Structure 1
Amino acid sequence: MYPNLTPTLLALLGAAFAAAAFIAIRKPFLRRLALRQVSRRRTEAMLVVGGSVLGSAVIAAGLIVGDTLNYSVGQNAYQHLGPVDEIVDSSTLAAGAHAADLLAPLKHDPRVDGLMTVHMEQTAVASGISRAVPRAYTIEADFTQAAAFGAAGGPSGLSGTTPVPGQTVVNSDLATALHLKTGDPVTLYVFGQPVVEKVARIVPTRGLAGLGESNSDGTAFVAPGTFAAAAQAVPGAQPRTLTLVSNAGGVTSGDKLTASVTAEIRNLLGSSTGTQAAVQTPKHDVLKAARDAGNGMGSLFLFIGSFCIIVGVVLLMNIFVMLAEERKPEMGMLRAIGLKRSRLVRSFLIEGSVYALAASVLGVLLGIGVGRLAVVVAARIFRNGAGGGNSNSLSLVFHFTATSLVNALAMGFLIAFLTALVMSVRISRFNIIAAIRDLPAPGIAAMRTRTVVLCLAGSLLAAALSVPAVVGGRSVALYIWPTVAIMLAIPVLTRFAPPRAVYTATSFAVLAWTSLANTVRPHVFDTNSTATYIIMGCILIIASVILVSQNQETLLRPFRRGIERPTAGGLTARLAVTYPLARRFRTGALLMMYSLIVFTLVLLSVLNSMIQGTVSQGVSFATGGYALRLDYNPATPPDVVSSLGTSPFAGRVAAVAPLTVAPAKVQDLGPHGLGPANVTVVGLPGAVTRGDGFALMNHMAALGPDDRSAWRAVASDPRYVILDQYVAVQPGPAQTLYTSGDHVTLVDQATGRTEVKTIAGVMKTSAAFLGIGGRVAYPILMSDTAAKSEFGAQAVSSAALVTPAAGVSETSLAAELQGHYLTGGMVVTPIAQQVRQNYNATLGFFQLMQGFLILGLLIAVAGLGVVMVRAVRERRRTIGVLRALGYQARWIRGAFLGESALIATEGIVLGTTLSVFVSYLLFRNNAAFSGYEVGFSVPWIATFVITGIAFLASMAATYLPARKAAQTLPAVALRIVD
């Protein structure tokens, strides 16, 4: 993923390596000093590396998931298209022959290495008595031409002898679906007429051998003349004629010529084929969809994983601070004998570079395993979301590229390297005398004037940027810039007030602004993007952590009586709270780690619960009063209105609405000019548009007071359309990019003619129409009259909506309809079942994201354990003195466990409270929940399970260090020098 970032990342990586190597080569003393610390303190080295390994693993896993989706979606280009780059699809034999003649000059075009014509039709296929598939494709093709088609790009996927009458060649998909073997008889229902063939051979589904729609059940190749013979019994029936064009180059490299070759095809065709031939670029569309899907899902994983990365960075910062605390006497002596502060920084930088390199390499290796696990779970979700192995399901193939691994390695190293650099600068500032004597710092030193001036300038700049952000109501900027302005003002304010008062006041200011900004700018949440809520939550957490860490004494005041009791429990409690109060940075860092992960886990849990609460209403919105959708072969469409009123369905069907379907493209959608993108135009009869219709998110107020007015406008005026909220929207966090009243340009794929439409309304969900016509594209709804008028022969009757009569089972009616109309290639889709499967897939992805965040929780728990391990080493002399004075071992153990319990509890409470608050704002303001009659609720059981696991894991991680501290022998602890 992100090959465009690779040069930049490699340049930064090279610069970082070069800087560290230059210092190490030019300054042997600093190199020896740094490497001595690494080799002498192997336990600390392992802890530092472990602090950033998981962060690198999260980055690698996110990129690998994107690679897998990109590759899996792109497999359609190999399996179903191979060398085919453009297709000219003609609905009649005459138009197809004429188009083939017009395109003959392409044979001599250097940009084209293949041109051939085939006849294709959708058919049902049966094998034996009990096995049949409703949606396969039957093709007449010359295998000799096919073998030479696109020769420059490699094998076409179809070769050998052309089938003779009575024989068929089937691809592996169809053979698997029907359990076929060579020599088996098979019945093809061509134009509804049974044609019995014998399987001559089975070929792999690849290239031309997979030609057909990606959601079909497979493809069969028959002898020339098969369609003509079957059409004799069906007057007017004709197969589709496809003129296939292969661009010069391989399967993917040929895609670069798509734009120029398509322009030449349109130029050669001119307008002579009328509306009976459509120019399609299926491979370009598939590869673009692969890139979009991979980048969108990979970005989502990285976005969620960024919390784990932040936690890893905070842990790394904490570890460096603890290392500095332990090495204070040593660093003080070095500074006392003349080592400059800049050289001390460089020594730490060399040491940090070693840690960063080891962590990034190990993180990438671990990320491959994490990515593999995520892909396995995602594949299961895709299968369940598509009906458990339905032909529409996406089969994920684990795959990763060297580019992604390099990017992950570079990002992981640079994050750890920059963290080491920043912390090296921070920890190099200390009082030399206090460091040599291992005494606490003499107080908070005032920041230098230069630092204060820079912070003041940054604060003023952020304040200036806040003005347009607030005026314009831009969601993310509205929260970020005022927060930055307040935080950068802290060094300035500490010149005039006590630091604690300044930190408290600024934290309250940030909390107040972030919580109440939506009252100042009520439309801040109109983007419908969850990123806004995540950013807002992070800012709330940062401010809350600063507030809590600076006011621990106040928070602990209600427990003062118990802490100050002159008992063993009181002594243990006092010891437990002493270090969190004395080490505020360390405590704040741990609180940040816990709060971020718990916040996100609880937020996802609440969202999961709210979505589950909308399932029943979502089904109602999606069905629009219809229970089933019928998709059938447009070449021989049944008269569903009349035939469903006769035996055996008389009295079992309450309503039927035949639909007109046409392929199209959209461009210039909404104010952002979205597109171009493939869509399916669905023409609705008056029976649908005159009723309550399908639920809308919004409609044009000028058309009337309710949704019905929008449907009536669509029925009576061809200028209006209704569409889904995600048409032409890139995968990723949901966001509203267009609304009712905006415009969209519809493009006829046959003629290139464009029509500007006005959006009368935006649907809550278009699940009833997804996959209609066998095309994976979002629908655009208009009247059937308008669809036939604008798309001509491309608009065909190939689907219908059905409402069962009262008391009739949807499931049984669906099975009977599909069996009765099997020869017509009918596929029956229970709409409610499909909607529930989509909901299950969505909920499954939330659970996958929660599982991904478990890595962050592991980092937080490991961080607490690391801090406790370091604390035992750091406090060994203190422990020895306490034990020598009579402290019992169990009191020491209890103090360490109490310290962890305090930090974990505060972090969990902060994360949970802020998560519930942000979830409530999301529920109240996010358009995705508008119109649903559900109340806000928190899944307390799931929340308690999440927080309980986090707490118990923290105690488990602390137990061994606490036990080790309790076993410390006073004489040994007091005599240890290193």
Structure 2
Amino acid sequence: FAAAALGSLAGLALGAVMIYFFGILVPLREGIRVAFYFDPASVVLAFAVGAVMTFASVALAAWRIARLNVVRAIRDLPEPEGHHGNLFLVAGIALAALGAAGTAVGFLSDSSLGKVAGIPLLALGLGVAASRWVPARWPVTIAGLANLVYQLGPWHFVNLRPDEESVLFVAIGLLLVLGGILIAVFNAAPALKALIILTARRTGRPAARIAMSYPTERPFRTGMTLAMFALILFTVTVISMVQALQGASLQQFIQQQSGGYDIVGYTVSYGEIPDFRTILWGNLSHAYFLGGEQGVASATVLPAKVRTGNSSEFDYTLWGIDNFLVNSNRYEFHDHLPFILDANGTRIDLVNANSTRVWTALSANHSYAVVDRSASGPSQFVGAGGGLRASPGDTVVVTDGEGREVRLIVLGILEQALQFTSGIFTDQAVVKGTFNLSRTYTAYFFQLAPGTDVGWMRGELERIFFAYGLRTIDIREEIGRAFDASQQVLTLLQAYLGIGLMVGIAGLGVVTARAVVERRQQIGALRAIGFTREMVLRSFLIEIAFIAALGIVVGMALGVILAYKVYSVFFADFATFVVPWVNLGVIAAIALVATVAATASPAIRASRIPPAEALRYIE
């Protein structure tokens, strides 16, 4: 009870610290403040879960102790082969049944959790049941491989919904680590044992052999210890990979998001600035803008609702773009129609056409429109379950909520899902000729010439059009600010997980201290047959380093692989896949060194036990 209570209170304190740093690191809008708050019921629930898990573990251990054979317990003999065969069979059948039920529910009712967890649980159940008749290594290894292949394969059958994302990430992480641990415990451990014994110096072979025998003979205990390392390092690795993806792709992302523009301006109230270009060129030189007059474009913007066919309506933005924006923007296309017919019925061939030609086609026939990549599937801004879905050739219906509507054919899908200008793009004449202009506002796009200071230009534009309430945005600055905030939040999460890892390492030190007590007779026997203190110390350190290193490798390898799959689904269109080897190496080194340091004291104490005292087994 005391440990569960202290853990709950410590969790509250850590949460308060994280909220404090979150408020410092993440810029929020004026008037918005993130305050520390907790529901007392959640604290009670955390305490209850901790207490129940502790008592369940104690009850299981007590049940096993009560069933020990007296003679085998006194002589420290292992349980006879096949002693738990029936238990494995029952547990395997139960897991297989649960997995089959989860699979059926997942695919019949489109439950993402059932799809993710059903097949792996079924495979694991069959593997556990099969170990009743054959050595556990092979069926369990096959189950672990099936789990990894199923989760990391090239297929994508899960439709993410906003309320399922966090649960699915936890489930996938647990299942991946489970599969990796099963393979590692039953295969990597024996392989590394043979490798260490073969490569160790002749004088070090006895210590290496003893060091590897204990973890390989107790797969459950080894697996639980590996899981602790692997789970935390798996999550830390995924976070590090996301940070690296963002950092390596920032400039490319800015280029794709900006469309070649440096500043976006908009009016505070609905409407269009009269004689905009006349006022602009009367106050500023063409030399400040890329291409002179071509470096300034505008769009009539309408907050609208859109639908395709009989689908639900979605809030969307309709952009009526002028010819300057058509000719100057640098938004590329992911897909587009091979041809269209202009207003006179003449065919315009768009096969292998560049982006400018596709954009120009909007002016040739006002019944066409372009949508950004968020309409074609999951992106970094829109999940798989929400938003408009359309493909080239589809018809979208745009309404303004006052009975006016227009039907537009999707000409193309942009290469990138957009953050600042997301929506549907069509010719400006469509918006002005169909909808009530009093419900529209105007956005202005500026491409600056090399050497023109963005901050100075923003100040000049807002000064010149102050009477019209023009506000400006530095696209690169806004993206950079959001990027910095995201990086800092991810770093905060890494620190939080690092605290968990340190707690786990401290727990491993306690387990090692207890293992020294349990193996006193073994230590005494080794010393009696000629093992020196250094050899005993070396055997303990090799054992701990092996377990920690294996957990680190499993967690980081699975984290990198999962990060690549996430990259291929959500980030491949604008990001470059990179692996932060230096960061991962530093994290692995810290974890390994901290583990050895935490367990060094019990290992040194074990090496100093006199043989006679150890053989008497006086605790």
User: Shorter chain as normaliser: what TM range?
Assistant: 0.7 to 0.9
Query: Could you tell me which of 398, 413, 419 is aligned with 1:761?
Result: 413
Task: Identify the residue that residue 952 of structure 1 maps to in structure 2.
Answer: 593
User: How many Å apart are 1:468 and its aligned residue?
Assistant: 8.8
Task: Identify the residue that residue 514 of structure 2 maps to in structure 1.
Answer: 870
Task: Identify the residue that residue 929 of structure 1 maps to in structure 2.
Answer: 572
The answer to whether structure 1 residue 541 and structure 2 residue 177 are counterparts is yes
Task: Identify the residue that residue 300 of structure 2 maps to in structure 1.
Answer: 660
Task: Identify the residue that residue 941 of structure 1 maps to in structure 2.
Answer: 582
Give the letter for the 2:285 counterpart.
Answer: F
User: How many Å apart are 1:831 and its aligned residue?
Assistant: 1.6
C-alpha contact (below 8 Å) 1:897/1:955 kept by paired residues: yes
User: How many Å apart are 1:951 and its aligned residue?
Assistant: 0.8
Count of residues in Structure 1 that have an aligned counterpart in Structure 2: 592
C-alpha contact (below 8 Å) 2:372/2:424 kept by paired residues: yes
Distance 2:184 2:313 in 1: 46
Q: Which moved more, 1:938-947 or 1:633-642?
A: 633-642
C-alpha contact (below 8 Å) 2:299/2:428 kept by paired residues: yes
Distance 2:306 2:513 in 1: 60
Gapped runs of 5+ residues in structure 1?
1-353, 387-391, 770-777
Task: Identify the residue that residue 79 of structure 2 maps to in structure 1.
Answer: 442
User: How many Å apart are 1:857 and its aligned residue?
Assistant: 1.8
Q: What is the CA deviation profile of residues 442-483 of structure 1, one whole-angstrom value per residue up to 9, with x for unaligned ones?
A: 234444758735733652563476479689998765553221
Q: What is the CA deviation profile of residues 408-443 of structure 1, one whole-angstrom value per residue up to 9, with x for unaligned ones?
A: 431452265146436634661343325641623323
The answer to whether structure 1 residue 558 and structure 2 residue 558 are counterparts is no
User: How many Å apart are 1:563 and its aligned residue?
Assistant: 5.4
The answer to whether structure 1 residue 577 and structure 2 residue 212 are counterparts is yes
Query: Could you tell me which of 115, 131, 142 is aligned with 1:494?
Result: 131
- What is the TM-score when the length of structure 2 is the normalising length? 0.81
Task: Identify the residue that residue 281 of structure 2 maps to in structure 1.
Answer: 645
Q: What is the CA deviation profile of residues 679-736 of structure 1, one whole-angstrom value per residue up to 9, with x for unaligned ones?
A: 5544322332455553455556786657667745765446746357399999999436
Task: Identify the residue that residue 831 of structure 1 maps to in structure 2.
Answer: 475
C-alpha contact (below 8 Å) 2:95/2:124 kept by paired residues: no
Structure 1 residues 763 and 544, CA, compared in 2 at 3 Å: closer, same or farther?
Answer: closer
The answer to whether structure 1 residue 897 and structure 2 residue 541 are counterparts is yes
Distance 2:612 2:382 in 1: 60
The answer to whether structure 1 residue 617 and structure 2 residue 252 are counterparts is yes
User: How many Å apart are 1:947 and its aligned residue?
Assistant: 0.7
Equivalent residue of 2:264, what SS?
Answer: strand
Task: Identify the residue that residue 164 of structure 1 maps to in structure 2.
Answer: none
Q: Which moved more, 1:890-899 or 1:689-698?
A: 689-698
Task: Identify the residue that residue 817 of structure 1 maps to in structure 2.
Answer: 461
Give the letter for the 1:928 counterpart.
Answer: F
Distance 2:230 2:308 in 1: 40
User: How many Å apart are 1:487 and its aligned residue?
Assistant: 0.7
Equivalent residue of 2:447, what SS?
Answer: strand
Distance 2:118 2:265 in 1: 53
Distance 1:954 1:368 in 2: 26
Structure 1 residues 509 and 743, CA, compared in 2 at 3 Å: closer, same or farther?
Answer: same
Task: Identify the residue that residue 966 of structure 1 maps to in structure 2.
Answer: 607
Q: What is the CA deviation profile of residues 912-953 of structure 1, one whole-angstrom value per residue up to 9, with x for unaligned ones?
A: 223333333333x31422255x4x332211111111111111
C-alpha contact (below 8 Å) 2:23/2:33 kept by paired residues: yes
C-alpha contact (below 8 Å) 1:609/1:938 kept by paired residues: yes
The answer to whether structure 1 residue 804 and structure 2 residue 451 are counterparts is no
Q: What is the CA deviation profile of residues 145-202 of structure 1, one whole-angstrom value per residue up to 9, with x for unaligned ones?
A: xxxxxxxxxxxxxxxxxxxxxxxxxxxxxxxxxxxxxxxxxxxxxxxxxxxxxxxxxx
User: How many Å apart are 1:755 and its aligned residue?
Assistant: 6.6
C-alpha contact (below 8 Å) 1:473/1:524 kept by paired residues: no
Equivalent residue of 1:957, what SS?
Answer: helix
Distance 1:671 1:489 in 2: 45
Give the letter for the 1:609 counterpart.
Answer: A
Structure 1 residues 502 and 783, CA, compared in 2 at 3 Å: closer, same or farther?
Answer: same
Distance 2:100 2:160 in 1: 23
Distance 1:850 1:469 in 2: 32
Structure 1 residues 536 and 661, CA, compared in 2 at 3 Å: closer, same or farther?
Answer: same
Distance 1:468 1:712 in 2: 49
- Tell me which structure has the larger Cα radius of gyration: 1
C-alpha contact (below 8 Å) 1:897/1:959 kept by paired residues: yes
The answer to whether structure 1 residue 725 and structure 2 residue 374 are counterparts is yes
Q: What is the CA deviation profile of residues 273-304 of structure 1, one whole-angstrom value per residue up to 9, with x for unaligned ones?
A: xxxxxxxxxxxxxxxxxxxxxxxxxxxxxxxx
User: How many Å apart are 1:904 and its aligned residue?
Assistant: 0.9
C-alpha contact (below 8 Å) 1:670/1:739 kept by paired residues: no
Distance 2:249 2:380 in 1: 22
Task: Identify the residue that residue 118 of structure 2 maps to in structure 1.
Answer: 481
Task: Identify the residue that residue 233 of structure 1 maps to in structure 2.
Answer: none
Q: What is the CA deviation profile of residues 536-590 of structure 1, one whole-angstrom value per residue up to 9, with x for unaligned ones?
A: 554343223122222323332122235583x3x3343233223212222111111
User: How many Å apart are 1:954 and its aligned residue?
Assistant: 0.8
Distance 1:765 1:733 in 2: 8
Give the letter for the 1:947 counterpart.
Answer: A
Distance 1:622 1:781 in 2: 15
Q: Give the % identical residues.
A: 24
Matches within 5 A, 1:258-297: none
Matches within 5 A, 1:26-45: none
Give the letter for the 2:123 counterpart.
Answer: I
Distance 2:72 2:338 in 1: 72
C-alpha contact (below 8 Å) 2:380/2:570 kept by paired residues: no
Structure 1 residues 686 and 620, CA, compared in 2 at 3 Å: closer, same or farther?
Answer: same
Equivalent residue of 2:537, what SS?
Answer: helix
The answer to whether structure 1 residue 860 and structure 2 residue 507 are counterparts is no
Give the letter for the 1:739 counterpart.
Answer: R
The answer to whether structure 1 residue 740 and structure 2 residue 390 are counterparts is yes
Distance 2:166 2:475 in 1: 28
Distance 1:871 1:732 in 2: 50
Structure 1 residues 617 and 450, CA, compared in 2 at 3 Å: closer, same or farther?
Answer: closer
Structure 1 residues 837 and 878, CA, compared in 2 at 3 Å: closer, same or farther?
Answer: same
Distance 1:493 1:880 in 2: 39
User: How many Å apart are 1:973 and its aligned residue?
Assistant: 4.9
User: How many Å apart are 1:801 and its aligned residue?
Assistant: 0.9
Q: What is the CA deviation profile of residues 875-924 of structure 1, one whole-angstrom value per residue up to 9, with x for unaligned ones?
A: 2344355456664444333332221111111111222223333333333x
- What is the TM-score when the length of structure 1 is the normalising length? 0.53
User: How many Å apart are 1:499 and its aligned residue?
Assistant: 2.5
C-alpha contact (below 8 Å) 1:563/1:571 kept by paired residues: no
Equivalent residue of 2:26, what SS?
Answer: helix
Distance 1:931 1:670 in 2: 30
Give the letter for the 1:906 counterpart.
Answer: L
C-alpha contact (below 8 Å) 2:145/2:183 kept by paired residues: yes
Give the letter for the 1:942 counterpart.
Answer: N
Structure 1 residues 491 and 768, CA, compared in 2 at 3 Å: closer, same or farther?
Answer: closer
Q: What is the CA deviation profile of residues 106-163 of structure 1, one whole-angstrom value per residue up to 9, with x for unaligned ones?
A: xxxxxxxxxxxxxxxxxxxxxxxxxxxxxxxxxxxxxxxxxxxxxxxxxxxxxxxxxx
User: How many Å apart are 1:748 and its aligned residue?
Assistant: 3.7
C-alpha RMSD over aligned residues: 4.1
Equivalent residue of 1:630, what SS?
Answer: strand
Gapped runs of 5+ residues in structure 2?
341-349
User: How many Å apart are 1:817 and its aligned residue?
Assistant: 2.5
Distance 2:62 2:423 in 1: 59
Task: Identify the residue that residue 245 of structure 1 maps to in structure 2.
Answer: none
C-alpha contact (below 8 Å) 1:514/1:536 kept by paired residues: yes
Structure 1 residues 732 and 818, CA, compared in 2 at 3 Å: closer, same or farther?
Answer: closer
C-alpha contact (below 8 Å) 2:91/2:128 kept by paired residues: no
Structure 1 residues 554 and 586, CA, compared in 2 at 3 Å: closer, same or farther?
Answer: same
